[in-house]
Structure 1
Amino acid sequence: MERKIEFERKMERNVGHYVKKVVKVIVMVILAIAFFLLANYVLMRLWNWLMPEIFGLGTITYWQALGIFIIAKLLFGFGGGGKKGGGPRHKRSFNASNRCGTMRKDFKEWQHYDQFWKEEGQQAFKSYVERIKNENHDTE
């Protein structure tokens, strides 16, 4: 009897998990459709606001804007992230071994900057500033 209750609880959790996933998918589909329709509306408003004034074209309806939107997507792609120029192959080719060795060397030398500044740099800078002040004072 105890195994049966445990099995039922496990099944309830599994069903609850799948129901949540299905609800999330449905919400995402609805949001995607709403975003698509909103983007189409924005396209129509922008066209009707800009094109007649700039190029002397007529205004368009919502459905004409939808057609323009679809044609633009077909001609220029469906956006977002393709692998043109930047896929994993590109990342693999740009690693530490391919970088300029002198840049790495120069960067490693900067680890000593704080120590230099404490020992010599601060005093050297102060003497430089005093020298500049004296030179400017003499010329004025």
Structure 2
Amino acid sequence: MEHKKEFEKAVEKKVKSTVKKVVKIVAMVILGVLIFLLANYVLMRLWNWLMPDIFGLSSITYWQALGIFVLAKLLFGFGGGGKGKGGSSHKKKINSSNKCGSWRRDFDEWKHYDQFWKEEGEEAFKAYIEKIKNENHDTSQEKF
């Protein structure tokens, strides 16, 4: 008999939990639809307030605004780029070790720069400057 009462309480608790979840889902769907309709109305009002005066376009109806809203969402995406409860994004995750990997490899080579400059850099640079001066001198004489 006592086993039966515990079972009834467990079933009752589960039913209450399920009903709460269903009510929350229905409320969220209704809220989402209302926000969508309100956003469409705001779009229509903004269009009718700004576009005729700025660009000389005609006013639009609510249903035309809905079409523009849906078209914009199809063309430019639906957002949703944020992270969900799991903390994962729908975008490809990039490991911090792979970020700028090629740049890091190139940067590692720069540790030899000072030694190179001491051994060969100054002489190579001076030779380059002399080469440029000679080329400029030769081209300036050819123009006359």
**Same fold at TM > 0.5:** yes
Runs of 4+ residues deviating >3 angstroms: 85-88
Identical positions, percent: 66
Establish whether residue 34 from structure 1 lines up as the match of residue 34 from structure 2.
yes
Which residue identity is paired with 1:61? T
Which residue identity is paired with 1:14? K
Report which structure shows greater RCO (CA 8 Å, sep ≥6): 1
Deviation at 1:93, TM superposition (A): 2.2
Which residue identity is paired with 2:42? V
User: Aligned partners of 2:14, 2:65: CA distance in 1, in Å?
Assistant: 44
Secondary structure of the corresponding residue to residue 93 of structure 1: coil
Equivalent residue, structure 2, for 1:89: 93
User: Aligned partners of 2:90, 2:29: CA distance in 1, in Å?
Assistant: 28
Q: Structure 1 length normalisation: TM-score?
A: 0.62
Establish whether residue 44 from structure 1 lines up as the match of residue 44 from structure 2.
yes
Q: Structure 2 length normalisation: TM-score?
A: 0.60
Higher helix share: 1
Gaps of 5+ in 1: 101-140
Gaps of 5+ in 2: 84-88, 105-144
Deviation at 1:82, TM superposition (A): 6.5
User: Aligned partners of 1:80, 1:88: CA distance in 2, in Å?
Assistant: 14
Equivalent residue, structure 2, for 1:72: 72
Deviation at 1:89, TM superposition (A): 1.7
Question: Residues 6 and 69 of structure 1: is their aligned pair in 2 closer, same or farther, counting only changes over 3 Å?
Answer: same
User: Aligned partners of 1:6, 1:89: CA distance in 2, in Å?
Assistant: 48
